[in-house]
Structure 1
Amino acid sequence: MIQAPGRLALHRAVLGEMSGTAPTGLLRSMRYQAEVIPGANEYANEEDFREALLMAGRADPLVAMWRAQFYQWDFAVDPPWSDARPRTEQRRAHLYARLALDPATAKLLEAGAPVSTLPEPVVIGTKFEPWYHLRERRPSRHSREGYWNNYRLALPARHWSPEAIADLDIATDHVVERLADPTSEIAYQAKGLVVGYVQSGKTANFAGVIAKSIDAGYRLVIVLSGTLNLLRAQTQRRLDMELVGRENILRGAADHESDYSDDPAWIQRRFLEFGELPSLLEGIDIHRMTTRDNDYRSLQQGIYALEFEKREPSLPLYDPANLHRAAARLMVVKKNKSVLTKLVKDLRKIKTPLAEIPVLIIDDESDEASINTTRPKADAERTAINQCLSDLLTMLPRAQYVGYTATPYANVFIDPSDAADIFPRDFLLSLARPTGYMGAADFHDIDSDIPEAERTYRNSNEKAHVRDVVVADEDDTEPLRKAVDMFVLAAAMKVYREANGLGDGYFQHHTMLIHESGWVDDHRHLLARVTQVWWDADYSGPTGHARLRDLFDTDVALVSAERAEGYPVPATFDDLRPHISPAVIRIGGDQKPIIVVNGDTAVETGEADFDKRAIWKILIGGQKLSRGFTVEGLTVSYFRRRATNMSALMQMGRWFGFRRGYRDLVRLYIGREETGPRNRDIDLYHAFEATCQDEDAFREELEQYAETIDGEPQVTPAQVPPLVSQHLPLLPPTSKNKMYNARLVELRSPGRWREPTAYPTAAADLRHNVATWQPVFDQLSTTTTEFAYHFPDGQQSHLLRAHHTTLSAPTFLALLENLRWRAPRQFAPDLEYLRSITADRTVTDWTILAPARTTNDDRIRLGAHTFPRWHRARRRDPLFGAIAYNWHRTIALRMAGALPTSADPHTESHTTPHRGAVLLHPVIEPHNLSDLRPDNTIDPAKLVITFGFVAPSTAIGRDSRTVRFTTVDAGSENVVVDSEE
């Protein structure tokens, strides 16, 4: 439906009026606006609005503008017109009542703008003095004044949905409100950390924070953008294009004098425009201290440019009389000792008292270079970049520090007692996973209940997107050729989609990344190998087409049939074949199908500059492509490089990101290694899986502890390090010299499933544990009982057939205290919790369940009886993955009171208020199966007795807090388990 201009103008005016205040009666507002809008009277009634909504599609401009405003209202923090929580049906009901809408109109609006299901950001923080929301929430709301408003309005052109924009608004509010009030007479230096996902849009968040901070009064913004020129230039351009704007860049100069005069987006006028310099529009100018091509330079002119003007010389700069008339300074600088030393030196020379300048320091990739890796000692010198940061924070008492990273482990392990360091003492904010993002979880089937034999391209991420790389020797190019074939086939699929609805040029970039090593010499050899693969491929001849046909039929067609999300897919390879030649020409028509990116030259010359030209190429790289730099259009990744810690590995995951229009075509070719107790090589795919689990566990812990109790935080950022988990001992979260300062003493888990993983491997310890558990096996019932949990919806039931018995709480605790572990510290916080609830009798006994198998063939004799045995491999040496099945855990959760009634008499008979539940599994690892004797016995040294437990949901401990900590001297011992323990 094409909306009438008068109707659109009327509703635009209505929403413009209400966006600055609060939702008010729609009919009254329409009638009022219709008096000043020519031809709008006929639309100033609810019947017309309802009819227009009924005829409109989701993309209709009328629906889009209302959807955008609804999400602004839905996400608003503590609005005066509603006491309901954001993003709830209650908030929406208040909204409809304020608008005085007919229920039929409300229903139509609900269809076009459903209540958002995006999770809110999670914030761990100390108490702070509210200031941001006590002022007018947007000091500069008008488009001609406010940088945030301009930034927000530019996002739809980058395919941001109204919901995502509203989410960004809330997330950036959470950051800015925790900074100090820039107009306060008392200087306070807030420090925080924002945790996003790799390649997930963290730049958009800190651009929004910068915009709001400048609007609020911050006048010097320093963005520390990685250690590489290419990343600094990419960040500078992004901020210039979307935040600074054309007029601030030119400052009266001619168009061709801009440092972006050769940039296609500049030429096409896609940089933000105000119409005039913001200061001529009663706004605030931004003076750039760095440009796209030039980092900060120490020049006399630069020193003068850093001087801040005062309208009222007798008042300090932070006084509103001066602050809201002073221009802001923005610089995007590399984390380079020379550059930062120049900046520190120049700041000391300016006449404006440094104590008066409200400063915002944004540290992108804050876990790289910024961290002081010197072991804390009284006389130890800081590392170079950390020293420069310390100097800045010391000399600028009004400086606010906000770090951004996807791998926060190094940051949270900084010594919080070091006042001159960058520990995020005030807040730690975990961003929600963005809609449309492909992250680590999208390439794994973590804790999937689907048996491997039943996994398909629809229900298995690994099957859909991951391909193993197993090479016979370093001269074996067959796996590499398969990956290049997939790259070409995916290119043809993109060309096909452009020709069938998406439009010419929809896929501006199409890339493949090959990452085997960080060494330049290795890149030279790899370039020669890939070049030979390309020219031998015969993509224009029968041999190449035969391979592509087979790959299409056995891979692409099958995956895309399940995961194309509505994008066009050719019915046969013959339908795709006409698009192969155009795709190959786009990649190699210039005789340069491959770019090596192991320095800044490839970007500086434009060869790998995604901003200056369309790039359909194979990229070979290492460290230069492992940190922050966005590889646009990345579709196929060939990855064989190892890492020494979790943070480094995740940063290498360049295949994470947004893949609009080609998610089904994404492929990861990744190296696989043999693993086991005697082999310390890491299977790269499972290393990523373990890292993903660590990341998810960290975020889940933060979310759990973010809830305040009686207005007090459960944990502060200083207590966050113990929440970091480590699923793979050979791959610690970050380097050991960054992991110190605190230890988790007790982890309380009432009504939550807990499954220890660090079981021993030593023969003596395994035998000891079998002997410890033997009395329990002697006590288990010799027959099984079927327990069930029938879900309230009546559509699903979980079943568990198990041997069972009951142990008193003191008996069970004594057993656990006698067990041996490969890494005792991992279970210690759980054990301390079990001690406390046993002592205060909030747990009186435990139901022990030994699940049965669907067949009676797999048995193990323990004492006088036989029980089901389980086969599990330590894929993450020495840790197992999940052992208990999800449907078995459901029964245990109900018996512990964590779920409502099961409607099953057997299950209910074992459920009491102070009873916990345990699932017990005798496990034989696959390499020990051959040692099983005919009578179903085995050497106890080759048997692992594993268990998981759910404490009673009533066992909350002495108070309602969930965790308890103790402090250790900085640097005296590690927080997480050493790989050698």
Structure 2
Amino acid sequence: MSLTVITEERNIANALISGLANLPETPTREQVEDKARQIASIFGYTGDLRNIVTEAMISIDTRMGAGVSLVDVTAKHDDQWVHKREDVAWTYAESYGNFLLKEGWPPQMVQSLSDVTTRILGHLQDPLSEGTTWNRRGLVIGHVQSGKTANYTGLIARAADAGYKFIVVIAGIHNNLRKQTQQRIDEAFIGRSSDPVDGRKKIGVGLGHGYPHPATLTNVNSDFNKKTATESGWELNDFSKPIILVIKKNVSTLTALHRWLRELNTAGDGQIRDVPMLLIDDEADNASINTNKDDIDPTKTNARIREILSLFAKSCYVGYTATPFANIFINPDAYDPDVRDDLFPRDFIYCLDAPTTYFGAEKVFLDDETSQSIVKPIDDCEDFIPYNHKRDDAVHELPPSLYRALDEFVIARAIRNLRGQTGSHCSMMVNVSRFVPVQKAVRDFLSLREKKIREAVLANYAMQEEVSSRNTYMQGLKRAFDAEYADAGLTWAEVKAALSGVFEHLHLYVINSKSDEVLDYARYAKEGVGLTAVAVGGLSLSRGLTIEGLTVSYMYRNTKMYDTLMQMGRWFGYRPGFEDLCRVHLSRDSINWYSHIADAAEELVQQVKRMRRDRLSPKDFGLYVRSHPDSLLITAANKMRSGQEVTVEQSFSGRLRESYIVSTDPDVNARNLALIGDHWRSGFGGRPEESTEKGVIFRDVPVEVIDDFLTRFECHSTFAGQKSDVVSYLERIATKRPLADVLLISPSGGSGGEHPFTLRNQVRVVGKDQPNGTSWRLNKDRVASRGDEKLGLSDAQRNEARTLAGGEDGLGAVSDAHYRMVRNKPLLMIHSLEPKGEAVTGPIAAFGVSFPYGDYSTTINVVVNKVWLQQMQGYADDPDDEDDYDA
């Protein structure tokens, strides 16, 4: 596709989206197609309008809520200063908004971004405010691949308009991520290419008339360098326009910047007085990975950041993260006390909403319907590239599931081409090792396979089916089509005929900090080409790097660390026109953990909303996160290197704790089911029974009765400690919440339940690789079905939950976390499960306790040791073994 055609299509799409934005009601697809034809005729365009129409339809559906902030309620700060400053021209912000519109952003999304960044700017200090010294500290929590860069770029533009003169963006620990961020800042804020090859030509926002280009001392090839900065002879006050630097998060660079600032730019008292400064820490938790490598040592990098901030009399620090448990709260080993206090977001925490068209954890892991088609379990990788392989282990062959994923990718690209997306990038990600030699070996095997598929396609794509179907590789492609894409709206004959076009711009890459291969989508885009990329890598591929048009992902890694795992989720993002083609291949363990983390992330956002309502501050949220059960998974690895036991405080406020590891012993289950029957018969302490859509509920049961039931309920030994914690927590909150509800879940269509006071069963699939012995670990570590927590709620409560999910904008899916927010007492849910699979026989009893929000300061002491950590976390990747660090 030529650049001229791409530009023409872009202009038509922009005109169409602008025209539709003003309509009083949402148009139908037919109306959009009709309008598109009218605009195309004005432009004299006779090409394919399908992509343009699809983009317009997505634009109509795309909305983004305002998000929610938690602020220090005791601080004397006026967050309305932004609206009171009548002298601000908003030149940079408006140029950025126009740039996004030209890039195809829906107008309402541009407006939402403008509103949100204005709100965040309000949480910063007015740079022209009275006072000789001030500082502000905040954190913005977004979603992986959901536009955090777009958000902080918008914040930078607004801050520059308001009078911030010196802006630093810390862009992760890898060269390729820093380069990618510099390119975006060049285009969206500086307005000139910083690539020396381009000769500082105007780009992006800089193409507008009279654009006031900010200055920069970094470029796409070079991080900050004290020698270059010193030779320039520039000082901060020399500039009438703002200066921006995009730097890597390592000790060397931060030290060089600190020295240059101190030597050239401080007054006699060591302070830079008249230069309001903003520091954006992208991936704020990035250098909190526990490592012994000096240049990215978290204690040292965070201390250098604090030293740089302390040079400025007027400074603001804003961390950006997609990790729900940003380690700024909970990794005490990553900070000395002074640093932790100074970088803690004491002034504000802002949770961004994801746009409605975001392809995120909800669709991939939590929605049972969409998850089933997107997520594919890997069951064969351990025999080829085991979790615990070494750097020098030989790779003799790749798992069949990885070759199947490659077949899927070829088919998906052909379908995307048939949908008119030949000019769009399309990528596959393969992440199976942290070691560079293993990554290279994987690429070599994939390259050989791709060559054979390519040869088979070129020889057979135009042949009759009876001939082409004899070829082994064509058979693999046909199987991938039948299994995954038969419902994509095309026949096999149509897809087969389009297969040859897949290979025109298909390239394989190894992406790591040691590789000289560059995944340069921009170069292909300049030529009007949609790159088809297979990217093999490890940490460098996982962390922050945007993989354009990611369609098929294959990841087999052995970490349960929240931040690492979430950042590996490069498949989250925006998938306009091909969301239905996306596939994510993961181990069953990872599927369980991603689902768990997605739930936990949702709970955290609800906690922020609840704390805002209760007029609490970020420090209260920090205390809550530090006592969250999952915080251990981030901190425990550090603390337990010496093997000692650690006592930690935990809070279950707003959490669901379930017996997801159950006993399969028939005698144990017979006793548990009899226990359920006895309590049911007695009305759980004499309470009346009420019907729900899916069983019965007993309201206002004394907590002592719940304690008695749980104490007598027999758990598998690996869950006994967690059951004990649940009972302890119930007892701790009993003075405030002496009553609880009990829900007996008994679906009408379930087997069993023929006798009085026995539950009907719920079918649950038994996953592969169950632990040995008499235990069954439930899929996604979940017992209850989504939505069970609404059973027994009144219509008014359900409406309140819907309102909480939608916020002011009426957006968002209602989750159990929202139902939990409208309850003001604990809920015990009791289940009888029917295993689907020969490995386990039922019925099997299980329970869950849903704790209400609001008990932030109530904690219990839990003793954990290395055995506990291995049970919870597995044998995690050791970051110091990771080849893929920039050093």
Alignment of 1:897-916 (within 5 A): none
Residue deviations 1:143-190, cap 9 Å, x none? xx6211111111112221122112212221232111222223142221
Alignment of 1:292-441 (within 5 A): 292-299=220-227, 301-302=229-230, 305-309=233-237, 326-353=240-267, 354-356=271-273, 357-369=275-287, 383-409=299-325, 410-414=327-331, 418-421=337-340, 422-441=343-362
Distance 2:288 2:824 in 1: 49
Greater RCO, CA 8 A, separation 6+: 2
The change in CA–CA distance for 1:298 and 1:59 in structure 2 (over 3 A counts) is same
SS in 2 for 1:536: helix
**Which residue of structure 2 lines up, in the alignment, with residue 174 of structure 1?**
119
**Which residue of structure 2 lines up, in the alignment, with residue 656 of structure 1?**
572
Distance 1:535 1:60 in 2: 41
Offset at residue 518 of structure 1 (A): 1.5
| 1:580 counterpart (473, 491, 499) | 499
Alignment of 1:777-788 (within 5 A): 777=680, 779=682
Determine if the alignment matches structure 1 residue 965 to structure 2 residue 823: no
RMSD (Å) for aligned C-alpha atoms:
4.7
Determine if the alignment matches structure 1 residue 946 to structure 2 residue 847: yes
Rg bigger for which structure? 1
**Aligned AA (2:330):** F
Determine if the alignment matches structure 1 residue 822 to structure 2 residue 721: yes
Alignment of 1:13-28 (within 5 A): none
| Contact residue 553 and residue 585 of structure 2 kept, 8 A | yes
| Contact residue 803 and residue 852 of structure 1 kept, 8 A | no
The change in CA–CA distance for 1:151 and 1:442 in structure 2 (over 3 A counts) is same
Offset at residue 209 of structure 1 (A): 1.0
**Which residue of structure 2 lines up, in the alignment, with residue 643 of structure 1?**
559
Determine if the alignment matches structure 1 residue 835 to structure 2 residue 734: yes
Distance 1:917 1:696 in 2: 19
SS in 2 for 1:424: coil
Alignment of 1:201-600 (within 5 A): 201-246=147-192, 259=196, 261=198, 269-270=203-204, 272-276=206-210, 278=212, 286-299=214-227, 301-302=229-230, 305-309=233-237, 326-353=240-267, 354-356=271-273, 357-369=275-287, 383-409=299-325, 410-414=327-331, 418-421=337-340, 422-446=343-367, 448=368, 459-464=369-374, 466=376, 468=378, 470-471=380-381, 473-474=383-384, 475-498=397-420, 506-507=423-424, 509-537=425-453, 538-541=456-459, 542=468, 543=471, 544-558=473-487, 560-561=488-489, 570=490, 572-587=491-506, 593-599=507-513
**Which residue of structure 1 lines up, in the alignment, with residue 81 of structure 2?**
134
Distance 2:731 2:80 in 1: 42
The change in CA–CA distance for 1:239 and 1:692 in structure 2 (over 3 A counts) is same
Count residues in correspondence.
743
Determine if the alignment matches structure 1 residue 665 to structure 2 residue 594: no
**Aligned AA (1:442):** K
Offset at residue 725 of structure 1 (A): 5.4
**Which residue of structure 1 lines up, in the alignment, with residue 620 of structure 2?**
716
Structure 1, unmatched stretches of 5+, are 1-55, 69-110, 251-257, 279-284, 311-324, 375-380, 449-458, 562-569, 588-592, 673-682, 790-797, 901-912, 937-942, 952-960
Distance 1:835 1:847 in 2: 15
Distance 1:742 1:303 in 2: 52
Distance 1:182 1:439 in 2: 36
| 1:151 counterpart (96, 100, 120) | 96
| Contact residue 288 and residue 331 of structure 2 kept, 8 A | no
| Contact residue 279 and residue 318 of structure 2 kept, 8 A | yes
**Aligned AA (1:963):** D
Residue deviations 1:326-347, cap 9 Å, x none? 3321111111221111111111
SS in 2 for 1:540: helix
Offset at residue 887 of structure 1 (A): 7.2
SS in 2 for 1:921: strand
**Which residue of structure 1 lines up, in the alignment, with residue 462 of structure 2?**
none
SS in 2 for 1:222: strand
The change in CA–CA distance for 1:218 and 1:240 in structure 2 (over 3 A counts) is same
Alignment of 1:36-55 (within 5 A): none
| Contact residue 170 and residue 282 of structure 2 kept, 8 A | yes
Residue deviations 1:845-895, cap 9 Å, x none? 8566463664554779xxx97655556578798677443456765443349
**Aligned AA (1:348):** R
**Which residue of structure 2 lines up, in the alignment, with residue 851 of structure 1?**
746
SS in 2 for 1:963: coil
**Which residue of structure 1 lines up, in the alignment, with residue 16 of structure 2?**
59
| Contact residue 597 and residue 608 of structure 1 kept, 8 A | no
| Contact residue 433 and residue 538 of structure 2 kept, 8 A | yes
| Contact residue 869 and residue 923 of structure 1 kept, 8 A | yes
SS in 2 for 1:632: coil
Distance 1:741 1:340 in 2: 36
Distance 2:742 2:88 in 1: 61
Structure 2, unmatched stretches of 5+, are 1-12, 26-56, 385-396, 460-467, 641-645, 771-775, 801-822, 873-887
SS in 1 for 2:263: coil
**Aligned AA (2:480):** L
**Which residue of structure 2 lines up, in the alignment, with residue 685 of structure 1?**
591
Distance 2:486 2:712 in 1: 56
**Which residue of structure 2 lines up, in the alignment, with residue 122 of structure 1?**
68
Distance 1:123 1:726 in 2: 23
Q: TM-score, normalised by structure 2?
A: 0.72
Offset at residue 230 of structure 1 (A): 0.9
The change in CA–CA distance for 1:272 and 1:726 in structure 2 (over 3 A counts) is same
Q: TM-score, normalised by structure 1?
A: 0.66
**Aligned AA (1:336):** N
Residue deviations 1:493-547, cap 9 Å, x none? 222222xxx6xx531x222121111111102221221122112221212324454
Distance 2:250 2:58 in 1: 49
Q: Percent identity?
A: 23
Distance 2:741 2:543 in 1: 49
Distance 1:201 1:886 in 2: 28
Determine if the alignment matches structure 1 residue 620 to structure 2 residue 536: yes
SS in 1 for 2:168: strand
Offset at residue 298 of structure 1 (A): 1.1
| Contact residue 896 and residue 950 of structure 1 kept, 8 A | no
SS in 2 for 1:964: coil
Distance 1:549 1:873 in 2: 28
Higher percent of residues as helix: 2
Q: Which segment is superposed worse, 122-131 or 884-893?
A: 884-893
**Aligned AA (1:921):** H
**Which residue of structure 1 lines up, in the alignment, with residue 135 of structure 2?**
189
The change in CA–CA distance for 1:117 and 1:496 in structure 2 (over 3 A counts) is closer
**Which residue of structure 2 lines up, in the alignment, with residue 33 of structure 1?**
none
Q: Which segment is superposed worse, 714-723 or 477-486?
A: 714-723
Distance 1:594 1:608 in 2: 16
| 2:611 counterpart (700, 705, 725) | 705
Distance 1:605 1:63 in 2: 36
Distance 1:366 1:461 in 2: 29
Alignment of 1:790-939 (within 5 A): 798-800=693-695, 802=696, 808=702, 810-813=704-707, 815-816=709-710, 821-823=720-722, 827=726, 831-832=730-731, 834-837=733-736, 843=739, 849=744, 851=746, 854=749, 857=752, 868=760, 881-885=781-785, 889-894=789-794, 918-922=828-832
The change in CA–CA distance for 1:920 and 1:858 in structure 2 (over 3 A counts) is same
The change in CA–CA distance for 1:577 and 1:600 in structure 2 (over 3 A counts) is same
**Which residue of structure 2 lines up, in the alignment, with residue 696 of structure 1?**
602
